[in-house]
Amino acid sequence: MRFLADEHFPRASIERLRSAGHDEAAVAEGAVGNSDRANIAFAIQEQRVILTFDRDYGELIYRLGVPAQQGVILPRLHSPSPEEPAAHVLRLLADPTTAILGKFVTVGRRHDRRRPSP
């Protein structure tokens, strides 16, 4: 799968997803300081799912109508280890019944929530 890791997504999680065979672009590797809108535009152009801890994406997508066609994964983890976000993403991808493309997925330790992007 193709992902775009937002600026604060942990390097260890990025590397773990890459080692699992996923195409991972990272804002921290060349686009630090980009706006969330610019990241969404890049993700659309590159057909990437956004990985972020930034709740502002939800406001952009649902309140302001900014499209995020491939989707967003937002880990809501209190004090995660640097590799924990990747573990949850890999868990989502391993479940064939889990649809994440075109969804806003909030990931937690106990449950996940998937909402369609408008």
Which residue in 40, 52, 55 sits closest to 7, CA to CA?
A: 52
Give residue for tokens 């280890």: 81
* Structure confidence at residue 52 (pLDDT): 94
Query: Tell me: the pLDDT tens digits for 25-60?
Result: 999 887 777 888 899 999 999 999 999 999 888 889
**What one-letter code names the amino acid at 104?**
F
**64 Cβ neighbours under 8 A, 6+ residues apart:** none
pTM: 0.91
